[in-house]
Structures are given as C-alpha cells and as structure tokens.
C-alpha cells in the first residue's frame, strides 16, 4: 500500500483527504493526517495544503516538524497547493517582516498574494499537460494565491517542468486592474505559470482540493508518487 500524508497544521487538509480517497489506483492508498515527525516518517509522499503559509510554518516549527519536513522533501514526492506552494519555494516575496520560514525544495521564487488585493480570489479554466483528458479544462480556484515570479535553474536539482500557465484572456471578465508599484509588473499582463513539477515535486498555486475534479490528485499519485516507489514495492 501507498501511504500519503497530508500536513494537517492548518488549512484545507480535510478537503485533500476527501479528494485523495476518491482516486482509484493500482495499489491501495492509506491517508495520514500529519501532525508530528513520527507520523511523517511513515509516509511515502506528502501533500502540503492551502491555508496561511505563515501559520502553517509556525505550527510546523512548534510541532518539531520543520527539519523533518526538509529532510522528507529532499527525498520524497511532495505536492504543495497555494500556501503549500509558497512553503515549497526556495524564496518567497511578500512574507512578513522578519521573514517567514519556508521548507524549500523547489527552485522557484513565489510572491505571496501576488494577484493583488482586488483579485484576491477568482476561478479560471486551465489546460494542464499530462492531466487525464487534458483537453478538458481544469477549474483553477485561486484564493489569495501566490504568483510564480522566477523559475531557477539548479545544477543540484532536476529541471522545472511547467505543466500549466494562465493566459490573461482566460481570466474572468470585469476584473479591475490592481494598482501596483511602478517597478512591479501585473501578473495578468502576460502568461503566468500556475502549475509545475520538479522531479517528484508538484506545485499548484491554486486549490484542486476545492473542486469536484480529482484529476490533479490522480496526477500526483500516478506521475509523482508511484514512479518514486520503484519496482520492488
């Protein structure tokens, strides 16, 4: 069986659990809600949900999970959605004064709440490479979502593979432009990366767990988790 943990500090972990339960796989999946290092060590893979990345980081620190999580991420498949995507970034902008702890693991830079306050939340149809029935759009639910600012090459890591970008013309009509500082570019003025992979790590800046579509959960299990288990299991 495959043991998939969901980091259950704060945020949408219960929704991930429900979605994961609906995925049919060749091997049975056991889902564990992770709140301590001992349970984490039993997992083959992990999902870090959306929520508040500052709160999740703080609670993980208090639970003694920060270092175990970093070690886990260095070895095993991990998927971060929204706040989870921020936490998996090697650098994040727009974090609280004094900085915010990240777990790192993916060589990208994200910006918290990068879509601006006036478009804090929106839905948009996404085309995702490798998803089952990939020509059927996946509804991206963006809630104060981060924006991927940079994808960085790294000699130590596998290349980043973009699996979905959002085009400005796919955004819902009637949205006001956010007023940005002069040196900032509006993320909606060009294509913005919203889903990517780096080896067995998956990043989505939106919330697949808040839809009724389990194709992303299936994608994670099929393309990230199962290949990492090797043939012997």
Q: Which two tokens stand for residue 202?
A: 């998956």
> Applying CB under 6 A, which part among 17-25, 82-90, 173-181, 188-196 lies near ligand GLN?
82-90
Which parts of 119-148 interact with ligand GLN (CB under 6 A)?
A: 143-144
Measured CA to CA, the distance from residue 47 to residue 221 in angstroms comes to: 11
- Asked if residues 17 and 43 have their Cβ atoms less than 8 Å apart, the reply is no
The reply to whether 61 sits near ligand GLN by the rule CB under 6 A is no
Shortest Å distance, C-beta 204 to ligand GLN: 10
The reply to whether 113 sits near ligand GLN by the rule CB under 6 A is yes
- Asked if residues 199 and 157 have their Cβ atoms less than 8 Å apart, the reply is yes
Is residue 207 flagged as an active site residue? yes
Residue 130 labelled as part of a binding site: no
Angle at the Cα of 226 from the Cα atoms of 225 and 232, rounded to 5 degrees: 125
178 phi-psi bin (left φ>0, alpha ψ -120 to 50, beta other): beta
The reply to whether 203 sits near ligand GLN by the rule CB under 6 A is no
Measured CA to CA, the distance from residue 165 to residue 173 in angstroms comes to: 18
Angle between helices 53-62 and 66-75 (to 10 degrees): 110
Residue 143 labelled as part of a binding site: yes
> Applying CB under 6 A, which part among 39-47, 79-87, 102-110, 218-226 lies near ligand GLN?
79-87
The reply to whether 188 sits near ligand GLN by the rule CB under 6 A is no
The reply to whether 112 sits near ligand GLN by the rule CB under 6 A is yes
The reply to whether 195 sits near ligand GLN by the rule CB under 6 A is no
The reply to whether 208 sits near ligand GLN by the rule CB under 6 A is no
- For the chain, what's the residue count? 233
Catalytic residue among 16, 209, 217, 218: 209
Is residue 82 flagged as an active site residue? yes
The reply to whether 50 sits near ligand GLN by the rule CB under 6 A is yes
3-state helix, strand, coil in the chain (%, to 5): 30, 30, 45
Binding-site ranges for ligand GLN (CB under 6 A): 50-53, 82-83, 86, 112-113, 143-144
Supply the residues annotated as catalytic.
Answer: 82, 207, 209
């Amino acid at each position: 069986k495959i043991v998939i943990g969901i980091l259950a500090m704060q945020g949408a972990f219960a929704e991930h659990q429900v979605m994961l339960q609906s995925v049919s796989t060749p091997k049975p999946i056991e889902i564990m809600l992770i709140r301590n290092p001992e349970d984490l060590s039993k997992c083959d893979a992990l999902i870090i949900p959306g929520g508040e990345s500052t709160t999740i980081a703080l609670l993980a620190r208090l639970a003694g999970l920060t270092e175990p999580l970093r070690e886990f991420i260095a070895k095993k498949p991990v998927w971060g959605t929204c706040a989870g995507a921020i936490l998996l970034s090697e650098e994040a902008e727009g974090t609280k004064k004094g900085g915010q702890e990240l777990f790192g693991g993916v060589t990208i830079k994200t910006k918290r709440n990068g879509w601006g306050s006036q478009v804090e939340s929106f839905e948009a149809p996404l085309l995702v490479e490798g998803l089952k029935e990939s020509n059927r759009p996946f509804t991206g639910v963006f809630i104060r979502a981060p924006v991927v600012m940079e994808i960085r090459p790294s000699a130590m890591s596998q290349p980043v593979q973009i699996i979905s970008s959002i085009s400005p013309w796919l955004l819902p009509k009637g949205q006001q432009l956010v007023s940005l500082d002069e040196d900032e570019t509006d993320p909606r003025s060009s294509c913005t990366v919203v889903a990517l992979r780096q080896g067995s790590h998956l990043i989505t800046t939106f919330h697949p767990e808040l839809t009724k579509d389990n194709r992303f959960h299936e994608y994670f299990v099929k393309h990230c988790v199962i290949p990492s288990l090797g043939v012997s299991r």
